[in-house]
Amino acid sequence: MLESLEDAGEELKRADHLVYVSLKYTRTADVLLNSLNRMIDCYDHLIQALLEYAKDSKGLEVIPKTPIEKGRVLKEYYDQQEILDNIDLYFLLRKIVRSTHSSEQEYRRHVCIITTIDGREEIINIDIITQYLEFEKKFYGFVVNLIGERAKEHHKEEEEGWEKE
């Protein structure tokens, strides 16, 4: 659980750097896509941490393998609006990255990726990806507050188990 939170933090730092530094200077669709991929990786780790927490404290028996099943299980075990909204954003980002997309205004301030998701045109530009990143940062803080203490206790118990052997 603690390892998943640490991995999520590292991915969030990478995504932050891509959005606030690399994208500022390169302004290409590739950097936008790389930023989205880092954000998806961060969500993967946060979801894993929440599922491990549900397994430890809420009676979840088996952690699912596929992202769709993980999202469904999270929606069953957690009713906080922050979690539900971020799961929806996670699936939207996954759909954007996997879909065929075009780019416009490369090397300019208004660089964007345009794609169609579920019959609706989605545009990802610098302003939108910055909003998504800030939303994810708040979610990271929420998850850390939610399961941070339990994760530290669990990690301490594991370390003590290794010392005894």
Domain ranges of the chain: 2-164
Q: Confidence band (pLDDT; 50, 70, 90) for 165?
A: very low
Q: What is the largest CA-CA distance in the chain?
A: 60
CATH number of 2-164: 1.20.120.330
CA distance 39 to 76: 23
* pLDDT tens-place string over residues 31-62: 999 999 999 999 999 999 999 999 988 888 99
* pLDDT tens-place string over residues 82-129: 999 999 999 999 999 999 999 998 888 899 999 999 999 999 999 999
Q: Does the global pTM surpass 0.85?
A: yes
In eight-state DSSP terms, residue 22 is I
Residue 103, H or E segment = strand 101-104
Q: Confidence band (pLDDT; 50, 70, 90) for 28?
A: very high
The pLDDT of 14-34, averaged and rounded, is 95
Count of alpha carbons within 13 angstroms of residue 51, beta-carbon side? 21
Query: How far, in Å, are 32, 34, 68, 85, 147 from residue 16 at the CA level?
Result: 12, 11, 26, 20, 23
CA distance 33 to 160: 42
